[in-house]
């Protein structure tokens, strides 16, 4: 038998992803960012005497990317998507008058 009480029911579609999956995603983004940084630092070393302008751009990327990678990795968990409320209010029924008839809309009885 089902319990009919005041217990709250949660929708699984509104649940956030698991903590382990969230940490794995952050680690993946951080490793990709640091790999791009490593490639840019190596490109800076290789291009310094060949193409100085490109080397300066890759150097700037190598300097700025660790900060961006840490900010992205520490961005926090995603917010749960907002779903419509499961609460359905009861319909409002007009009260009966003293004589048993429904009150007239907008007019009061004397």
What does each of the 110 residues of the chain score in pLDDT, given as a tens digit? 455 555 666 666 666 677 888 888 888 988 998 999 999 999 999 999 999 999 999 999 999 998 988 888 777 666 655 655 566 666 777 777 667 665 565 555 55
Neighbours of 62 (CB within 10 A): 19
Q: What crossing angle do the helices spanning 19-47 and 52-73 adopt, rounded to 10°?
A: 170
- B/e letters for 31-51, b = 16+ CB within 10 Å, e = fewer, are eebeeebeebbebbeebeeee
- Cβ neighbours, 10 Å, residue 30: 16
Q: Is 26 helix (H, G, I), strand (E, B) or coil?
A: helix
At residue 95, the pLDDT reads 72
Q: Decide: pTM greater than 0.85.
A: no
φ, ψ for residue 42 (rounded to 5)? Answer: -65, -40
**Distance separating alpha carbons of residues 98 and 105, to the nearest angstrom:** 15
85 CA to centre of own chain:
18
Tell me the three state secondary structure of residue 54.
helix
């Amino acid at each position: 038998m089902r319990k009919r009480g005041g217990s709250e029911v949660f929708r699984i579609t509104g649940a956030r992803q698991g903590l382990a999956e969230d940490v794995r995603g952050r680690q993946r983004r951080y490793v990709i960012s640091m790999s791009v940084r490593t490639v840019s630092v190596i490109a800076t070393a290789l291009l310094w005497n060949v193409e100085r302008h490109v080397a300066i751009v890759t150097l700037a990327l190598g300097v700025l990317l660790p900060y961006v990678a840490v900010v992205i990795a520490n961005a926090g968990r995603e917010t749960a998507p907002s779903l419509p409320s499961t609460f359905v209010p009861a319909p409002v029924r007009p009260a009966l008058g003293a004589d048993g008839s429904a009150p007239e809309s907008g007019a009061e009885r004397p």
